[in-house]
Amino acid sequence: VWTYKPSIVDPIVELMELYESDARADKVNLGIGVYQDNDGKTPIFAAVKDAEAILFEKETTKTYVGVGGDAQFVKRLGRFLFGDAADRMLGIQSVGGTGALRLIGEFCARVAPESRVWVSKPTWANHPALFASCGMPCESYEYGKYSADRLLQNIIASLSGAKEGDFVVIHACCHNPTGIDLSEPQMAQLAEAINDKRLYPILDAAYLGFKNSIESDAAALASLMQRFDTAFCAFSASKNFALYRERVGAAYVKGGERAKLGEWRELLLSLARSNYSMPPDHGASIVRIILEDERLRKKWLGELAAASGRLRSVREEFAKCLTKAGCGFSTDYIRTGSGLFCLLPLSEQEVRQLRVDNGIYMMKSGRVNLAGLRDAEVERVAGAIAAVVRSRARTAIA
């Protein structure tokens, strides 16, 4: 008899089903984790279309690319992200950022079976499930939700429970779900604490290009990576190349001398081989073509900058409208935050009320995807949220 204990279904799937079945014309989807433009679309970048045209013209075979994927893609991307330091790292193509994390997780579980992995609390919902699937016990370190105050101190304090050889997942930028990041000097302090405790960082880079420019976000990642002798990086091209469904990513590992890296590469390749054999090629080829071609690269950088610029202006406007509508909490963390998300200080009941009464859909944690807000809706949505908070205050007084 087969027994099966169902694992927890990602709550976003459930929320999206509810949204789809809602007939209201003015419903607002702040749940899904993808970038949307002011028309509610997730467009394909023109640079991607151009690269696809080149690929269509030049591609002569669909034969296998190899277990580690497209070596030129890995090399180009590695240089783009880490500069010369990439020469001293190993990299393999992965099935999106999730695939990179999964490879890294399985790798860590094999080489350090006694170790645990620490993720922020809160974090991306898939982190704990993913590492658990790799057989790694998962612990969490405290992370602020609505303010950057004492963020670093809290993280370091909760990592005091970690033991030598444990792994720590750090969101490279645009923390999911809070949108609150450590500053660069604070990241340097965290790196020092991680090194002092002899822990190993896993840098999750899923939103490069959505904090500042992608060059500057990548430079921050590279300088962080430089602070460690051994470190892992899971890169995702889903958001910054808007290639979500093409499943493009890469896992990079830095560590010690060349011979060790060679052994580690073998292990990563064998994990990939026994899992999915080889990664898909189409999206990785697109990224490679864009990075190789000066004109396409400029075009992509411009399109990505426009997308992240829109997010910054939505943040400003949303924070301003919430305050104006009398939400009663400080919205500084929303204004100064980065990336797609922020958390709102709402109870599950209040989140439900917004959904039922106003057709505003968000995760029950209060996570909002700011890209889901069209300019014309910001004021109404902020007003509805503020009204819910105000009615809570009234109920408390009554």
Ligand X SMILES: Cc1ncc(COP(=O)(O)O)c(C=O)c1O
Residues interacting with ligand X, by CB under 6 A? 33, 96-98, 124, 171, 176, 204, 206, 236, 238, 249
Give the phi and the psi of residue 188 in degrees, each rounded to 5: -65, -40
CA 279, CA 300: separation in Å to the nearest integer?
A: 23
Amino acid 18 reads L
Q: Is 373:381 a contact under the CB 8 Å cutoff?
A: yes
Closest CA to 11 of 344, 249, 366: 366
- Supply the DSSP string of 126-161, one letter for each residue: HHHHHHHHTT--EEEEE--SS--TTHHHHHHHHGGG
Q: How far is the CB of 112 from ligand X (least distance, A)?
A: 21
- Which CB, 279 or 359, lies closer to ligand X? 279
- Which CB, 35 or 200, lies closer to ligand X? 35
- Which CB, 124 or 333, lies closer to ligand X? 124
In 307-388, the DSSP E strands lie at 341-343, 360-361, 367-369
Q: How far is the CB of 383 from ligand X (least distance, A)?
A: 29
Q: What angle do CA 112, 115, 118 make, to 5 degrees?
A: 130
Q: How far is the CB of 23 from ligand X (least distance, A)?
A: 28
Q: How far is the CB of 207 from ligand X (least distance, A)?
A: 7
Q: Is 25:168 a contact under the CB 8 Å cutoff?
A: no
Q: How far is the CB of 173 from ligand X (least distance, A)?
A: 10
Residues forming a β-bridge with 236: 249
Closest CA to 370 of 395, 323, 333, 326: 333
- Which H/E stretch holds residue 218? helix 214-226
Q: Is 237:287 a contact under the CB 8 Å cutoff?
A: yes
Residues, the chain: 398
| Chain mean position to CA 338 | 11
Q: How far is the CB of 357 from ligand X (least distance, A)?
A: 29
- Which CB, 181 or 204, lies closer to ligand X? 204
Residues annotated as catalytic (active site), given as ranges: 124, 204, 239
Six token digits for residue 78? 């590695």
Residue nearest to ligand X (CB): 96
Amino acid 276 reads Y
